[in-house]
């Protein structure tokens, strides 16, 4: 992947500051239903629209006070925190890195670029959230929680302190955020900021220097950082993405379990991998994953192209998708609107890549697990 003339460095970045929840770790999707479950005990009904818009980026104490007040919960904010925190801790341990997060951190570490973690969470909770993420605690030059500075985001305190501890100026610091308050904090700190917002957090767009659908779209060379060197021709190996789908009447939908999607909002673009119908049948596929712009509610939009067959191979039944490679972002288009030539190019890239060791290795894990289960 080469950098064109229009992609020359915007500025020379010497250090990167990451937000945590929803930016590099998929905690927010996992904990989305916890408040509803908790409030039901008190006969209260959660207002999801208010929660998604109002609480994003708040400190714990601010959020607790607002929830107790908004829902008239018969507790003090401290009592509420004591009751609900164990529920969150259990979910945090199940959280996985968001697409491209591990890749970017390993890349920066490899090239000696310092990077920090600055979150509105308490430091104690940050440590709990990243405790099972291999190498994370060692990778970060600085880790800061909102209880370690005067004020959390949107105040610039967290980012200013992180830069100070890394020995860099604001002008040479790049913030990566997913929330509006985080972007506002970066602006207040006079730092460059890349937003990787969730589908509902579109307020970030106007304030950020760059907006991405996922960190897989991040191009270090645009910020004067060393470019990635992990593309294999036109395909990028990724940590496997597993999702169950059902195809019927020409449309493809995710099978949602327990009300929680298996996919983070940042899974967006053109991928490839395998569709497994049963233990003995699987097909190579190219998949575009986006959002249904015409729907009154946010809904995933899938389009699948079977490389070694046709869509009838998986029609009217559940299939397990294992996506192992990434080709590109969507640019608001999906596979159905692509030209035949472009689609054939994607199919060619995917077909050639899926025979290579770096793409094959992880794709067999679900099959092996099921085979072992059957033998037991």
Please tell me which residue in 19, 26, 209, 334 is annotated as part of the active site: 19
Task: Answer yes or no: 21 catalytic.
Answer: yes
With helix as H, strand as E and coil as C, how does the chain read?
A: CCCCHHHCCCCCCCEEEECCECCCECHHHHCCCHHHHHHHCCCCCCCHHHHHHHCCCCCHHHHHHHHHHHCCCCCCHHHHHHHHHHHHHHHHCCCCECCCHHHHHHHHHHCCCCEEEECCCCHHHHHHHHCCCCCHHHHCCEEECHHHCCCCCCCCHHHHHHHHHHCCCHHHEEEEECCHHHHHHHHHCCCEEEECCCCCCHHHCCCCCEECCCHHHCCHHHHCCCCCCCCECCEEEEEEEEEEEEEECCEEEECCECCECCCCCCCCEEEEEEEEEECCEEEEEEEEEEECCCCCCCCEEEEEEECCCCHHHCECCEEEEEEEEEEECCCCCCHHHCCHHHHHHHHHHHHHHCCCHHHHHHHCHHHHHHHHHHHC
Task: Answer yes or no: 19 catalytic.
Answer: yes
Please tell me which residue in 21, 157, 265, 334 is annotated as part of the active site: 21
CB 11 within 8 A of CB 172: yes
Whole-number Å distance between alpha carbons of 122 and 357 = 41
Q: Hey, which residues are catalytic here? A: 19, 21
């Amino acid at each position: 992947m080469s950098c064109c003339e229009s992609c020359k460095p915007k500025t020379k970045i010497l250090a990167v500051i990451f937000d945590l929840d929803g930016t590099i770790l998929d905690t927010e999707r996992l904990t989305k239903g916890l408040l509803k479950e908790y409030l039901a005990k008190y006969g209260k009904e959660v207002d999801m629209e208010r929660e998604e818009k109002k609480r994003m980026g708040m400190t714990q104490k601010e959020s607790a006070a607002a929830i107790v007040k908004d829902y008239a919960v018969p507790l003090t904010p401290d009592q509420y925190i004591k009751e609900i925190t164990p529920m969150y801790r259990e979910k945090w341990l199940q959280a996985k890195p968001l697409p491209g997060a591990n890749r970017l951190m390993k890349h920066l570490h490899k090239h000696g670029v310092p990077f920090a973690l600055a979150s509105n969470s308490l430091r104690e909770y940050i440590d709990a959230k990243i405790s099972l993420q291999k190498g994370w605690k060692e990778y970060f030059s600085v880790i800061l929680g909102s209880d370690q500075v005067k004020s959390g985001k949107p105040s610039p305190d967290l980012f200013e302190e992180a830069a100070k501890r890394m020995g860099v100026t604001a002008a040479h610091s790049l913030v990566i955020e997913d929330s509006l308050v985080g972007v506002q904090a970066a602006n207040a700190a006079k730092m460059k900021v890349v937003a990787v917002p969730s589908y509902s957090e579109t307020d970030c767009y106007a304030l950020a220097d760059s907006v991405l659908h996922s960190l897989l779209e991040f191009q270090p060379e645009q910020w004067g950082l060393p470019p990635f060197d992990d593309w294999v021709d036109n395909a990028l190996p990724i940590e496997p993405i597993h999702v169950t789908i059902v195809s019927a009447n020409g449309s493809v939908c995710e099978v949602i379990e327990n009300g929680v999607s298996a996919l983070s909002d940042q899974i967006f673009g053109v991928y490839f991998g395998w569709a497994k119908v049963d233990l003995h049948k699987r097909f190579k596929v190219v998949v575009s994953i986006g959002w249904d712009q015409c729907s009154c509610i946010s809904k995933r939009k899938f389009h699948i192209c079977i490389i070694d067959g046709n869509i009838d191979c998986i029609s009217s039944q559940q299939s397990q998708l294992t996506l192992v490679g990434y080709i590109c972002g969507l640019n608001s288009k999906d596979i159905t609107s692509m030209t035949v030539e472009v689609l054939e190019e994607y199919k060619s890239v995917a077909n050639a890549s899926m025979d290579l060791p770096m793409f094959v290795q992880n794709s067999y894990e679900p099959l092996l697990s099921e085979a072992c289960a059957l033998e037991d």
